[in-house]
Amino acid sequence: MIQFCAQCGSDMTYQIPEGDTVTRAVCGSCGYIAYENPKIITGVLPVYQDQVLLCKRAIEPKKNWLTLPSGFMECNETLESGALREAYEEVGIVPNLKFLFCTYSVSRVSQVYCLFLGELDAPEFKAGPETLSAAFYSISKIPWDQLAFSSVRFALRQYVDQHARGESYCVSGSE
């Protein structure tokens, strides 16, 4: 919860501003309204031939669990540039982004995931500081019970299903 005004430092109260429909943090002194919006996570579902690259997390939450290279977008970057930055930071890869493969909303934590399908030219990677290790998994050997987040499970299930049908398109889901 926002306690102090970013404009004047006064105490904030929570109320529905005139003309709005959502409770917001409002400054009683200067009238500033602090809008809180969802966080965007961008990343890559990296594939090499019929294998998917998964990262073992070196940080919480879900340390030691498997995930896709992804993270919070930074200001002044596009979804694509953020996805490429995260892929390079986490596993040292520069995939060829094909298209936005998956969006996934987790409303309880106000997050929206945007994952691109990224093809790799070679099965090479280098674990970054947020990654303990990484490995390629064939579609039939994905360790479903070791995946860190529902967004990762959703994206991988969609990829496996589409791959089996010889299709490839954008999907959307939510928790």
Nearest Cα residue to 47 out of 112, 154, 125: 125
d(CA 170, CA 84): 18
Residue pLDDT, tens place only, 43-63: 999 999 999 999 999 999 999
- Per-residue pLDDT averaged across 96-104, rounded? 98
Token pair, residue 11, equals 């105490």
The CATH 3.90.79.10 domain(s) of the chain lie at 39-174
pLDDT value of residue 1: 87
Question: What class has domain 39-174?
Answer: alpha beta
CATH 2.20.70.10 residue ranges of the chain are: 1-36
Contact indicator for 6, 13 with CB cutoff of 8 Å: no
Fold of the CATH domain 1-36: Ubiquitin Ligase Nedd4; Chain: W; (2.20.70)
- On average, the pLDDT of the chain sits at 97
